[in-house]
A and B are shown apart, each in its own frame.
Chain A
Amino acid sequence: MDLSAINPVLLIASLMVAATPLLLAAVGELVVEKAGVLNLGVEGMMITGAIAGFATAVESGSPLLGFVIAAVAGATLSTLFAILTQFAKANQVASGLSLTLFGLGISALMGQSYVGIKPPQMQDIHIPVLSDLPVVGPILFGHDIILYFGIVLTAVVWVVLKYTRVGLILRAVGENHDAAHALGYKVLRIRVLAILFGGACAGMGGAYISLIRVPQWTEGMTAGIGWIALALVVFASWKPWRVLLGAYLFGGVTVVQLNLQAAGVAIPVEYLAMSPYLITIVVLVILSADKSSAPAALGRNFHASR
């Protein structure tokens, strides 16, 4: 075992990379849940985004286009969820599960000819002077554009939810859909838009795994990250900044665990690989005592009965 082989600067830099798929998916789901909808299909939307983005990037040579198509794919899949829950009034838990099962299948189908291919690389940003600073440079100023996009998106979601009229309406719909309906807001339309937004974010998060973090395509490669993103929203008590914090914590666990594996720590690899899931459970237990901040209408379907 050689712990000195672990470079703290690289560790923090790769922590941010590991956290980004989680951050994107969780911020999207946060908006969905704020609107009062519980979409358990994050894993399915992520894996669909992962293959759609991967295939697009390979065929077009443009990783950026890959991310755009991944967002479209995630949103498209979430449309199915929107139809099921908002128009067919199906149970949200069951619909979310069906989305995940369907997404895992369709991604495996689409991905068959892409196994073992390397995607085109996303260029890291290089800012003169700043990127060359010791320590701070590689940690903060040497990443790809999507990583920064994730952080900016979190900030935007925070501002919109907290300070704008749109955010107020969205939260009203999530807290009390009957009251929001009585005030004349289109509950279903707002929820559908939130679901589409969540789908697009999850799709991009998936593409980040297949294009940047891993970069390759294997079946079922999201390996529960979508579910961890769902747990993260609970962890964050539905607050955007805490999603960011949580994503970095989980990213940290993942990266440290991988580094320990590489350094040949005496613990078997499988037990290290379990740790992100076990820590998710522990965190859920600690935080589940406080449910006060959950949107009141979360998981309840709305039907305007005259």
Chain B
Amino acid sequence: MIRLEKRPQPSRAWSMATPLVAVLATMIAGGLLFAILGKDPVEAIRTIFWEPLFGEFAFYYRPQLLIKGAPLVLIAIGLSLGFRAGIWNIGAEGQYIMGALFGAGMGLAFYPHEAWYIFPLMVLAGAFGGWIWAMIPAFLKVRFGTNEILVSLMLVYVAEQFLASMSLGLLKNPEGFGFPGSRNLQQYESAHNADLIAGSGMHWGVVAALIAVIFAYVLLNRHMLGYQIRLTGEAPRAARFAGVNPARLVLFCLGTSGMLAGLAGLFEVSGPSGQVSIDFNVGYGFTAIIVAFLGRLHPVGILLAGGLMALTYIGGDIAQSNMGLPSAAIQVFQGMLLFFLLAFDLLTNFRIAIGKPEVA
């Protein structure tokens, strides 16, 4: 008989190892899926994980890694703070959209005036847009005890409609021949979030993501607030006795994650994507949830997980064009990853014992 015995302390070794085991399991299960789809599984896995890094065209794909990874890391860092404390912001996608809209709106308000201060103002506006959108579920939770999971999620759909309305209305390019979508910010120098070193993929969003990682690391390990976040997640009752103010924590965690998601949206719309359009958002806000868990809610882990997830995006694109692998297959692949991670986490908290229980 197989039994589970709760470990007195979560195993550190398994905590580090489960993401790797989960990735391996996903590769196997993903390979099976690709085989069912009639593709060579080994070739597909190799294309996804090897081609972007060391393949023939890796010089082109490596910068893409930074471009796709930065928003994921930026958003996931914010989410991880809340997740640690049991505050579930699931609406990062909406905060990402609002950040992009506020930021792009700020830039476009200045068009065609060129000045050095336009881009910094856009960054502020983007952060504010994401922050204010996250403050809605935060405020409702603090004031009325409303469930932040459902409210933040509802706001994603509201933000999507708002995005559609903006790209058809207020922010529509007057010279766009009636097509929906804003002016291209890549062609407006003061508002363009260009590569800092040409062709490297290293734009301000990447810098911001690295700063966020360091900031989160310091906060969690060296700061009272970080200690309170960890304590609330591990022992909510003890946290209350220790004088943690739950309302303040909710406002801080949701606010920070909203701000970072908003920044991610702004850097994307002013850089790689370039314009506000109806389907500008591509689900980074949801994928970042996987990134946060895969990185064990730890800043350095999230950095690595963000890189890995960016790899699956890019590798997935390559597999799509080279092997005709459907794009949704990668989405399934990413979903599986989270699934296996949660399943193997069992080993972190429990010991598997075989045999009959000892009679006490």
Task: List residues of chain A with CB within 8 A of the CB of B357.
Answer: 306
**Closest residue to B349 on the A side, CB-wise?**
A89
Contacts of A93 in B (CB 8 A): 88, 149
Across the interface, do A102 and B342 meet the contact criterion of CB distance under 8 Å? no
Interface size on B, residues (CB 8 A): 50
Q: How far is the CA of A97 from the CA of B334 in the complex (A)?
A: 12
CB distance from A43 to the nearest CB of B (A): 9
Inter-chain contacts of B289 with A (CB < 8 A): 97, 101
Complex Cα–Cα for A102 and B328 (A)? 10
Contact string against B for A residues 195-219, beta-carbon threshold 8 Å, 1 for contact and 0 otherwise: 0000000000000000000000001
**Contacts of A84 on B, CB cut-off 8 Å?**
339, 342-343
Name which residue of chain A comes closest to B83, CB basis.
A94
Bound together, the chains give a CA A80 to CA B161 distance in angstroms of 32
**Contacting residue for B332 out of A105, A274, A291, CB 8 A:** A105
Residues of B330-360 contacting chain A, CB below 8 A: 330-336, 338-339, 342-346, 349-350, 357, 360
Q: Tell me the chain B residues, 261-288 only, with Cβ under 8 Å from chain A.
A: 286
Q: Is the CB of A274 within 8 A of B157?
A: yes
Please determine whether B326 and A112 come into contact, CB atoms closer than 8 angstroms.
yes
Query: Is A127's beta carbon under 8 Å from chain B?
Result: no
The B interface, classified by DSSP as helix, strand, loop or mixed, is helix
Residue pair A230, B345 in contact (C-beta under 8 Å): no
Residue-wise interface mask of B (76-103) relative to A, using a CB-CB cutoff of 8 A (1 in contact, 0 not): 0000000000001010000000000000
Q: How far is the CA of A303 from the CA of B3 in the complex (A)?
A: 11
A183 part of interface (Cβ distance < 8 Å): no
**9-residue interface stretch from B41-49, B64-72, B112-120, B162-170:** B162-170
- Let me know if A90 and B150 touch, CB within 8 A: no
Cβ-defined partner of B154 (8 Å) among A83, A102, A281:
A281
User: Judging by beta carbons under 8 Å apart, are B335 and A274 in contact?
Assistant: no
Q: Is the CB of A164 closer than 8 A to any CB of chain B?
A: no
- Tell which of B155, B157, B335, B338 touches A106, judged by Cβ atoms closer than 8 Å: B335
Q: Is the Cβ of B150 less than 8 Å from the Cβ of A284?
A: yes
- Give bound CA distance, A53 to B53, whole Å: 40
Measured CB to CB, the closest approach of chain B to A50, in angstroms, equals 14
Contact B328 A227 (CB under 8 A): no
A98 near B147 with CB under 8 A, answer no
Residue of A nearest to B346 (CB): A88
A297 in the interface (beta carbon within 8 A): no
Q: Let me know if B145 is at the binding interface, CB within 8 A.
A: yes
User: Does residue B225 face the partner (Cβ distance < 8 Å to A)?
Assistant: no
Residue pair A109, B329 in contact (C-beta under 8 Å): yes
Would you mind naming 6 contact pairs between A and B with Cβ atoms under 8 Å apart? A91-B342, A227-B154, A234-B147, A270-B161, A274-B161, A280-B154
* Beyond A274-B157, A288-B146, 9 additional pairs, beta carbon < 8 A: A90-B342, A108-B326, A109-B328, A109-B329, A109-B331, A112-B328, A281-B151, A303-B4, A303-B6
Q: Which 9 A-B pairs have the closest CB atoms?
A: A102-B335, A105-B331, A108-B328, A270-B165, A105-B332, A90-B342, A98-B338, A109-B328, A88-B346
Q: Taking beta carbons and an 8 Å cutoff, which residues of A are in contact with B? A: 40, 80, 83-84, 87-91, 93-95, 97-99, 101-106, 108-109, 112, 219, 223-224, 227-228, 230-231, 234, 268, 270-271, 273-274, 277-278, 280-281, 284-285, 288-289, 291, 303, 305-306
